[in-house]
């Protein structure tokens, strides 16, 4: 055999070996490493998303409290000063389309007459669902005004 034939034979063997190796696919270790990387990425995204979900619920509740206050005042105008007991009264009168609860599944509390010069006060007990505490969301809060 000449040198050229020997080199061609070696190259052919290497090519066949690399083709056989490509047919094997991925090893279990490679698959586990990829799954671990994907899990880490999803874990980081999940932590960030859940933190923003809580903030979004509070902002939604703040907006709904203000809207319900306005709807209650409209109800009072239509009903000659009668105060709505709850959202169901507003829906029955056709002032709102849907009787909704706060983002945590609790009913909004409507109080007439309101304090601080308002005709109506609207209150949600907030994330903990119980009266009192810093998490209550109300039209009484000064930082809710104008939002």
Measured distance CA(32)–CA(24) in Å, rounded? 17
pLDDT band for position 145 (cuts 50, 70, 90): very low
DSSP bridge partners of 111: 121
What is the pLDDT at residue 33?
A: 95
Q: For each of the domains in the chain, give its residue range(s) and CATH number, in order of start.
A: 25-144 (3.30.700.10)
Alpha helices by DSSP H, listed for 24-142, are: 28-78, 87-92
What is the pLDDT at residue 22?
A: 53
Cβ(74)–Cβ(93) below 8 Å: no
Measured distance CA(70)–CA(37) in Å, rounded? 50
Give the three-class secondary structure for 137.
strand
What is the pLDDT at residue 19?
A: 60
Token pair 């006060």 is at which residue?
121
Q: State pTM to two decimals.
A: 0.62
Measured distance CA(139)–CA(124) in Å, rounded? 9
pLDDT band for position 133 (cuts 50, 70, 90): confident
Tens digits of residue pLDDT in 1-45: 788 888 888 888 877 766 655 556 778 899 999 999 999 999 888
Q: What share of the chain is helix, strand, coil (3-state, %, to 5)?
A: 55, 5, 40
What is the pLDDT at residue 146?
A: 40
Mean pLDDT, range 50-59, rounded to an integer: 86
What is the pLDDT at residue 24?
A: 61
Tens digits of residue pLDDT in 62-111: 999 999 999 998 998 888 888 898 888 888 888 888 878 899 988 898 88
């Amino acid at each position: 055999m000449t040198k050229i034939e020997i080199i061609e034979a070696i190259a052919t063997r290497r090519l066949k070996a690399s083709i056989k190796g490509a047919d094997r696919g991925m090893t279990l270790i490679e698959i586990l490493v990829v799954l671990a990387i994907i899990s880490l990425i999803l874990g980081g995204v999940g932590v960030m998303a859940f933190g923003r979900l809580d903030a979004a619920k509070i902002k939604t509740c703040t907006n709904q409290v203000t809207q319900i206050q306005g709807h209650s005042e409209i109800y009072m105008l239509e009903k000659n000063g009668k105060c709505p007991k709850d959202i169901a009264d507003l829906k029955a009168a056709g002032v709102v389309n849907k009787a909704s609860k706060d983002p945590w599944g609790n009913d909004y509390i409507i109080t007439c007459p309101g304090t601080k010069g308002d005709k109506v006060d609207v209150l949600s007990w907030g994330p903990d669902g119980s009266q009192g505490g810093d998490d209550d969301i109300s039209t009484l809060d000064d930082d809710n005004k104008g939002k």
